[in-house]
Structure 1
Amino acid sequence: MVRNRAPGAAFAPDPVSVVDTLHGRAVPDPYRWLEAADSPETLRWLEERSREYEREAATWPLRARLASLIRSLVDTDLWSPPVHRPGAAFATVRPSGTEHPRLVVLAGDGPPRTLYDPAEEDPGGRTTLDAWEPSPDGGLVAVQTSSGGVERGGLRVLRTGTGTPAGPPVPEVRYSHVAWVPGGTPSFYYVRRDGGQGVRGVWLRRVADGAEALIHTCTASGTVPGVRVLGRRWLLVTESHGTGHRTDLWLADLAADAPERPVLRPVQVGAEEETEARLGPDGLLYLRTTLGAPWRRICSVSPEEPGTEHWREVVPEERGATLDAFAPCPGGPGGGPALFVSRTRLGISEAAVHDARSGAPLHAVDLPGQGMVSAPEAAPDGSVYLGYADVAAQQRVLCLPPGERVPRPWPPGASGERDSPAVERTVLWCRSEDGTRVPVTVFAVAGGGGPTLLHAYGGFGRPRQFGFSATVLAWLLSGGRYAVAHVRGGGDAGREWHLAGSGRAKPRAVEDLVAAADALVSAGLCTRRQLCLSGGSAGGLLVLAAATARPDLCGSVIASAPLADMARFERMGLGRMWTREFGTASDPDDFAALMSYSPYHRALDSAVHAPGRRFPSVLLAGFHGDTRTDAAHPRKMCAALLAAAREEGRPPVLLRYERDVGHGPRAVGRAVGLAADAHAFAAHRTGLSPR
C-alpha cells in the first residue's frame, strides 16, 4: 500500500490518497476514508452533501406535486395472498393511509383481526414486518421483524388467539425460512444465513424453551440455506449457491425420522442448475428447473426416489417465455392433479392451468390486463390465490377456483380498485456493440413524450416484470415516457441471457444499455437532454457505468443504492455473496473485467486525466442502514464525481442520504418522499412540465 497525493483530495480530511497494487496495477482509492460510515470526517462530509442537496431540491418545481400524486396512487388497501390453515386464513394488509402492512387473521364472515402491527410496536415507523409463517394448526405464527433498514432482526412466535409471545425470541436472523414440524411438541426449522453459533445452516428450535439442534450445515461458502416442510411429511433442505444458477436439494421423511435427526437424501446436488420443489395433491414432487431447459420446465418425481435420474418432464420449456412460478393444485381431468403455471414474456405474465399427469394445457387464465403474476399458492379447497398488478393498476389478490378461467377479487368487497388510465406499450429493438438485438419496452399515455426515464437492472438473472409502480404511473400521468432496457445479465431471455451479461461478460450489459439509450434518441422519442437513466442496486451500477463510459449519452442519471467501487465490492455489504455474478478482484481476468466498467474508478480517472469533463447531472441515493450494497458505494461515487466535475457551472452531483432505512422495505411516507424527489430531479433536468 502506497500513500501519495491525488486529485480530489479536497474532499478528504487529510490530503493523501490510498493506492493499492492489484495484479501489478496501481488502483487509487482517495475516498476510502468514506467507508467509515460514522467517523467524524464522514459525518461532516455528509452534512455538507445534505446542505447541497436541499439547496438544489428546493428549486425543483414538481417536487411537491409528484409527492402528492404518488401518495394518492398508493393510498389503497393493499393485501397479500392468504395462507390458509384450519378454520382461518392469514394475510397482510396495508390499509389506505397507513405506513406499514400488518398481519391479520380472517375467520368465517367476521372482519379481519389484527395479530401483529409494526406501527403499534414502533410508532416511529422504523420497524418492518419482514416475514411470517403460521403453524400447521394455525395456533401459532412465527413473525420476523427488523428495524432501521438493516434487514437483520428477530424472529418470535406469537399465539394466534392473543398475539402474546409463546417462547423466547430468536435474535439476529435475516429473512429466515421457517418450516413448522408437523405434530408433537411445537417446534420449527429455521435458517441462519449469516452464521449462528459460528455455523450457517438449518436449525430445529423448540418453541417453549428455545432449545435448538443443528440439523444441516452449509456445504460450501457463499451459499444461502433454505428449508420447507412439504405435505406435513417431507423436509426439504436447499442451498442456493450465491447468486448463480445452482441449487442443491435434499429430502428427508419426517414420518420415518426423528425431527432432530432427519436423514437427508440428495434430490439434486452438485449440478449447475436452479430448481424449486413443491408437493402436489397426488403426493408427487413437482420441480421447476433449468436442468435441460434454460427457460425452465416442470418435472415430477416420487419423493421416495427423488434423484434426477427418476425425473419425468411434465411441462416443457417454452423458448421466449420464462417459466417463473407454478402451484400444484386439484382440478385436473377426472379429479386428478393440475398445475397453475405462469410465464413471463418481455416483462408481461401469462398464465394457464395444465394437466399434472400429461402436462397438456387445460385452459388459459384470463388475467385482468398486461401485468405481473406473483406468489401463486393453492388453498385446501383447490383454489389458487395469486397477486396481480400492472403498470396502471395497484396490486390486488385474485382467487381462481378449480376449473374456472377468470379469477375473482379477494377478499370479497376489498377496496382499492379504481379506474386505470390507458397506458400504451410498445417494444423497440436495438443492436448492441456485438450485434446482439436487445429489446426495449416503452410506456406512455396518450399525448406523452419527450422527457424519458430509461430503466435497467441487468443482474442476477432476474427477468423484468411490469407490476405496479406509483412513481412510474405518476411520471406517465405528468406527460413523461418510461422505458426499460432488457439488457443481458437479467433473465428476460432465459438463462443464457443472464450468463451473457454476468461475470467477465458484465460489460455487455453496459453496452446493451448504451445501445438502448442511443436507439431512443435515434427513433426521435427524446433528445439527449430529455433522457434520464435510472437504476437501483445492480441497476444503479449499470446506469453509472454507462454514463461514465459515455458522458454524452444522456442528460441525467438516478442511481439508488448502487454498487460503484468494483475493486472492493466484495469487502462491503453482501458483496462476498456476489462473486458468481460479478467475478472476484482476486482473479486477474475477473479483475480486468471489473475495472473496465467500475464507475468509481472511471470517475477518478477523469479527475486525473480529464478534469472538468462534463458528466450528466447525477442524483445518488444512499441509505445508512443498507446491509446489502453498503452506503459506502454512493458516498465514494459522489466524492469521485465531485472531484471530476469541480468547475463552476457543471451539472450537479447530488447525494440524497437517509438514516434509519436500508435496502429493503420502508414506511410508505419515506418511500413516497424518495420516489418524489428522484423523479422531481428527473423532471427538472429533462424539462418535464406539469400537465
Structure 2
Amino acid sequence: MTPAPWPLKHVKVTDRGAHGAALSTALSPAPGPDGPGSVVDTLHGRPVADPYRWLETADSSATRRWLAERGREFEQRARQWPLRGRLGERIRSLVRAELWSSPRHRTGRMFATVRRAGDEHPRVVSLDREGGDEQVVFDPAAQDPSGRTTLDSWEPDPSGRLLAVQTSSGGVERGELRVLCTGTGTRVGPPVRGVRYSHVAWLPEGLFSHGAFYYVRRDDRHGTRGVWLRRVACGTETLVHRCTAPGTVPGVRILGGRRLLVTESHGTGHRTDLWIADLHTSAPDRPDLRPVQVGVEAETEARLGTDGLLYLRTTLGAPLRRLCAADPDDPGVERWREVVPEDPEATLDAFAVCPADADAGAGAALLVVRTRLGISEAAVHDAVTGAPLRTVRLPGEGMVTVPETAPNGTVFLGYADVATQQRVLSLAPGADRPLPWPPHTGDGVPAPRIRRSVVRCRSEDGTEVPVTVFEPPHAAEAPGPTILHAYGGFGRPRQFGFSATVLAWLLSGGRYAVAHVRGGGDAGRSWHLRGAGRHKPRAVEDLVAAADALVGDGLCTREQLCLSGGSAGGLLVLAAALWRPHVCGSVIASAPLADMVRFERLGLGRMWTREFGTAADPEDFAALMSYSPYHRALDPARRRPDPGLPRVLLTGFDGDTRTDAAHPRKMCAALLGAGHDPDRPPALLRYERDVGHGPRSVSRAVALAADAHAFAAHETGLPPR
C-alpha cells in the first residue's frame, strides 16, 4: 500500500477521565488579526490552522458571495455532463409509483401514508378495515404548496378520532407538533413548537376525557430534555422523565394499551436505558418507572406480547443480537430469559410478536428478521422454546423494514430490493408467504434482473472486509465505470432496499458496489466498535482496501472508480481520498462531516462524541486529526497541483441541522485552496437552500440524485445509452 503523508493513527483506548470538561478552553482560538485565514487554534500544544472558519457563518455577506461563485461554477460544469438530463428522466420514471406505509389499526379504521405518482410528499389517509373508503386526513402539500413543508412523524390516538402530526419547513427537522380531528382536519388544542422527530405515545382512552399523549424533547432549546405528558385540549404539560445524562436521546412508547416504556439512547445507539410503568397502578403524570436495563453497555428494544410478556431485542451478551423475555412487573435484566439465540453470521434487526401457530401450543410466536450482508431473511419462532416454526418466503433478495402486528394477528412489513420499489406485505397468522397490501397494488411491474456477487478483501490489519457488487445482466466482463458506496458509522448496517438512483445507474450500464466497512453494523456490535472512536481510521483503511480489490479484480480502473457516501459516509470517502489520492478518480460526498476538530460545535456533533471521540481529549484529538479530511486538505504537502487528486463533488443543504452545511463549505474551500488547474477545479459544491439533511420533495430529490450521478458518469466515462 502506498504510504500516507500522515499515517492513520490508531490510539490505545483508555479512560477519558474529565477531558470533556476542558472542551471550550481547548478549542478557543489563539489571538490573531481579524479576517479570513487568520484563525489558528492551539490544541494540546499543537497549532491547528483553520483559514476558512469564516465560512461557518452561513448568512455573512462574504459567505453568500462565495456560495454564489460556487453555484455559477457548478452550473457551468454540470451543463457539460451528457447524462444529466437522461439520468433525471430515468430516475423520475422509476419513482413514479404508488407508495404506501404499513397501516396502523385503530377502532374501526386503519391509517397509513400514501404517495401517488406525481405527488411531491406522502399524505396521511384513513381507510376502513377492507382497505376502501379512503379519506385524506393530512396533506403537507395542501398546507404548503411550495413543497418546503415535510411530514416528519404522525400517530393516531387509540380511538382514531385524533391524529398527532409533526411537520417542519426548510429542512431544519425542528418544527411543530399538533393534533388534528381526523373527521374534519381541524386543529385541536394549541400546538407544540420546537420539537425534532418526537415519539408520540397516546394514553389509553378514559384516562383523560379529551385525550393526552406523551412526547419527547431531544434538546434544551425549547424545554428540558426528556418525556412530557401533554393534555390535548388545554395544552398543559408535565415532565414525567428528565434525561439522566447529557447527550442522551429520549424515547417513549405505550405497550399493550397500559404500559409506559421510557428509553434513553446513549451515544446514538451504543447503549440504551429502559424503564417501564403500569398505568393501571400508577398515575400517568407520576408513573412508577421501574428499571428494565439501566447502566448496561447494550442496545435494547422492547415490545409487549399478547401473552403479557416483555420481549427484548438486545446486544447484551450477543453482539449480533438475540431475543429475551421478561415479566413486565419484574423486568430487571438479571431475570431475562433467552428465547431466540444469536446467529453468529447474521444480525437480528427486527422482530414482531404474533399469534402462535395452532399446533404450537404457545400463547405467542415471534417473527424474526435477520440481515446477512445486506439481505433480509425472516422466520417465525416459538415464543417459549425459540425453535423455528417456518421460514417466511420473501419476494426476493432485499430489505425488510420493521414489522407491525395488527389486532387480528396479521403482520405488516415493508419490503424492497435493489430493483423493486418499497411495498407493504401482509402475513396472515400461520402463513409462510406474505401478500401485497393494499390488495389492489398487486405485485407491480416485473423488476429488471440485477446480478449480485460478493468480493472479499483484506484491510491494512488483515481483517477480511466483504464488498457487495451489483451489475446489470448486460454488463461486460471488462473493467467499467463503478460507484463504490460506504457509510461505516453509528453501527448501522448497509441494507439493500430500493434506490431509483442506484437502479438508474445500473440500467445505464454502470456497476454499483457497497463496502461493508467497520464502524457500520453489518457484522454486529463488535464490528461497529472496531471502527468507532479512536478506531475510526480502520473504517478508512477498509474502504481503501475495498477500492483496491475492485481494481485488482478487474471490475474497474482507478479512473473508472467513484467513491460515494453521505453524512458519516461522506466523511469516510473524503478521508479515504485524501489519505490515498490515487485510490479513485472521483468522489461524491453528500452533506459530509469534514472538520473533525470542530464537528462538536456544528449541527448535532455534540451528540456524537461516543462515535468519533472529542477534540478535548488528547488521544481522541490525535486520532481525529489523523483522518480529518479538512485538515488533510490544508496540509502544506498538498498545496500544489496534484494530478492524482480525485475530482470531488460536495453537496450541502442550508437547512442541515445534523452535520451542518459548514462542513461541505469549508471542505470545498480547502480543496480549492490547495492549488489546481483553474480550467478543471478539484472540487465542486452543489448547494441548496430551504432543504436539510432529511426528507424533501420528490422533484428536489430527483434533481439532486441526477446531478450527483451525472457527475459520476462524466468522471468515470460511463457512455450515454
Residue 271 (structure 2) aligns with: 246
Which one of the candidate residues 167, 173, 195 is aligned to 1:145? 167
1:639 aligns with 2:669: yes
1:114 aligns with 2:136: yes
Q: Which moved more, 1:86-95 or 1:324-333?
A: 324-333
3-state SS of the aligned residue for 1:225?
strand
| 8 Å CA contact 2:484, 2:562 repeated in 1 | yes
* Residue 331 (structure 1) shift: 2.7
Residue 93 (structure 2) aligns with: 72
Residue 258 (structure 2) aligns with: 233
| 8 Å CA contact 1:561, 1:629 repeated in 2 | yes
3-state SS of the aligned residue for 2:219?
strand
1:213 aligns with 2:243: no
Which one of the candidate residues 488, 492, 495 is aligned to 1:462? 492
| Distance of 1:612 and 1:154 partners within structure 2 | 49
| Distance of 2:293 and 2:278 partners within structure 1 | 16
3-state SS of the aligned residue for 2:225?
strand
1:664 aligns with 2:686: no
Which one of the candidate residues 236, 255, 266 is aligned to 2:280? 255
| Distance of 1:196 and 1:234 partners within structure 2 | 29
| Distance of 1:303 and 1:447 partners within structure 2 | 56
| Distance of 2:37 and 2:392 partners within structure 1 | 63
1:490 aligns with 2:511: no
Residue 10 (structure 1) aligns with: none
| 8 Å CA contact 1:78, 1:416 repeated in 2 | no
Report the AA paired with residue 162 of structure 1: T
* Residue 648 (structure 1) shift: 3.4
| Distance of 2:637 and 2:179 partners within structure 1 | 54
3-state SS of the aligned residue for 1:158?
strand
Per-residue deviation, residues 221-258 of structure 1 (Å, max 9, x unmatched): 00000011111111100000022421000011100111
Quickly say closer, same or farther: Cα 1:16–1:290, change in 2 above 3 A.
closer
1:223 aligns with 2:223: no
Per-residue deviation, residues 629-655 of structure 1 (Å, max 9, x unmatched): 000000000000001133335554100
Residue 6 (structure 2) aligns with: none
Residue 443 (structure 1) aligns with: 470
TM norm structure 1: 0.97
Per-residue deviation, residues 83-128 of structure 1 (Å, max 9, x unmatched): 0111111000001111000000001443321100000000000000
| Distance of 2:400 and 2:314 partners within structure 1 | 19
Report the AA paired with residue 669 of structure 1: S
| 8 Å CA contact 2:639, 2:675 repeated in 1 | no
Q: Which moved more, 1:126-135 or 1:243-252?
A: 243-252
Residue 150 (structure 2) aligns with: 128
TM norm structure 2: 0.93
* Residue 16 (structure 1) shift: 3.6
Residue 707 (structure 2) aligns with: 677
* Residue 160 (structure 1) shift: 1.3
Which residues of structure 2 form unaligned runs of 5+? 1-28
3-state SS of the aligned residue for 2:218?
strand
3-state SS of the aligned residue for 1:506?
helix
| 8 Å CA contact 2:36, 2:53 repeated in 1 | no
| Distance of 1:366 and 1:89 partners within structure 2 | 26
| Distance of 1:15 and 1:83 partners within structure 2 | 54
Residue 719 (structure 2) aligns with: 689
Residue 561 (structure 2) aligns with: 531
* Residue 567 (structure 1) shift: 0.3
- When the two structures are aligned, how many residues end up with a matched partner? 684
Residue 408 (structure 2) aligns with: 381
3-state SS of the aligned residue for 1:34?
helix
Residue 52 (structure 1) aligns with: 73
Per-residue deviation, residues 279-337 of structure 1 (Å, max 9, x unmatched): 00001000000111111000001101000111000000001100000001113323620
Residue 191 (structure 1) aligns with: 216
Report the AA paired with residue 430 of structure 1: C
Per-residue deviation, residues 42-94 of structure 1 (Å, max 9, x unmatched): 00000000000000000000000000000000000000000011111100000
Quickly say closer, same or farther: Cα 1:402–1:687, change in 2 above 3 A.
same
3-state SS of the aligned residue for 1:195?
coil
Percent identical: 73
Residue 61 (structure 1) aligns with: 82
3-state SS of the aligned residue for 2:112?
strand
Matches within 5 A, 1:488-637: 488-606=518-636, 610=640, 612=642, 614-637=644-667
| Distance of 1:608 and 1:319 partners within structure 2 | 44
Per-residue deviation, residues 145-164 of structure 1 (Å, max 9, x unmatched): 11000000000011111111
3-state SS of the aligned residue for 1:103?
strand
Report the AA paired with residue 54 of structure 1: E
1:296 aligns with 2:321: yes
3-state SS of the aligned residue for 1:474?
helix
| 8 Å CA contact 2:639, 2:674 repeated in 1 | no
Residue 439 (structure 2) aligns with: 412
Residue 29 (structure 1) aligns with: 50
Q: Which moved more, 1:409-418 or 1:15-24?
A: 409-418
* Residue 26 (structure 1) shift: 0.7
Report the AA paired with residue 57 of structure 2: A
Quickly say closer, same or farther: Cα 1:677–1:168, change in 2 above 3 A.
same
Residue 280 (structure 1) aligns with: 305
| Distance of 1:645 and 1:3 partners within structure 2 | 28
Quickly say closer, same or farther: Cα 1:15–1:315, change in 2 above 3 A.
closer
Quickly say closer, same or farther: Cα 1:244–1:143, change in 2 above 3 A.
closer
Q: Which moved more, 1:426-435 or 1:195-204?
A: 195-204
| Distance of 2:422 and 2:269 partners within structure 1 | 29
Which one of the candidate residues 225, 228, 251 is aligned to 1:203? 228
3-state SS of the aligned residue for 1:17?
coil
Report the AA paired with residue 472 of structure 1: V
Which residues of structure 1 form unaligned runs of 5+? 6-12
| Distance of 1:383 and 1:666 partners within structure 2 | 32
| 8 Å CA contact 1:331, 1:382 repeated in 2 | no
Residue 95 (structure 1) aligns with: 116
| 8 Å CA contact 1:195, 1:201 repeated in 2 | no
The two structures, once aligned, show a CA RMSD in angstroms of 1.4
Residue 314 (structure 1) aligns with: 339
| 8 Å CA contact 1:464, 1:490 repeated in 2 | yes
Residue 395 (structure 1) aligns with: 422
Quickly say closer, same or farther: Cα 1:453–1:197, change in 2 above 3 A.
closer
| Distance of 2:456 and 2:421 partners within structure 1 | 28
| 8 Å CA contact 2:605, 2:659 repeated in 1 | yes
| Distance of 2:329 and 2:430 partners within structure 1 | 30
Report the AA paired with residue 252 of structure 1: A
3-state SS of the aligned residue for 1:620?
strand
3-state SS of the aligned residue for 2:394?
coil
1:157 aligns with 2:157: no
Report the AA paired with residue 462 of structure 2: G
Report the AA paired with residue 233 of structure 2: A
* Residue 198 (structure 1) shift: 3.9
| Distance of 2:545 and 2:118 partners within structure 1 | 41
Residue 358 (structure 1) aligns with: 385
* Residue 416 (structure 1) shift: 7.8
Quickly say closer, same or farther: Cα 1:377–1:15, change in 2 above 3 A.
closer
3-state SS of the aligned residue for 1:541?
helix
* Residue 439 (structure 1) shift: 0.2
Quickly say closer, same or farther: Cα 1:496–1:469, change in 2 above 3 A.
same
| Distance of 1:328 and 1:15 partners within structure 2 | 59
* Residue 419 (structure 1) shift: 1.4
| 8 Å CA contact 1:388, 1:395 repeated in 2 | yes
Quickly say closer, same or farther: Cα 1:469–1:151, change in 2 above 3 A.
same
* Residue 425 (structure 1) shift: 0.3
* Residue 136 (structure 1) shift: 1.0
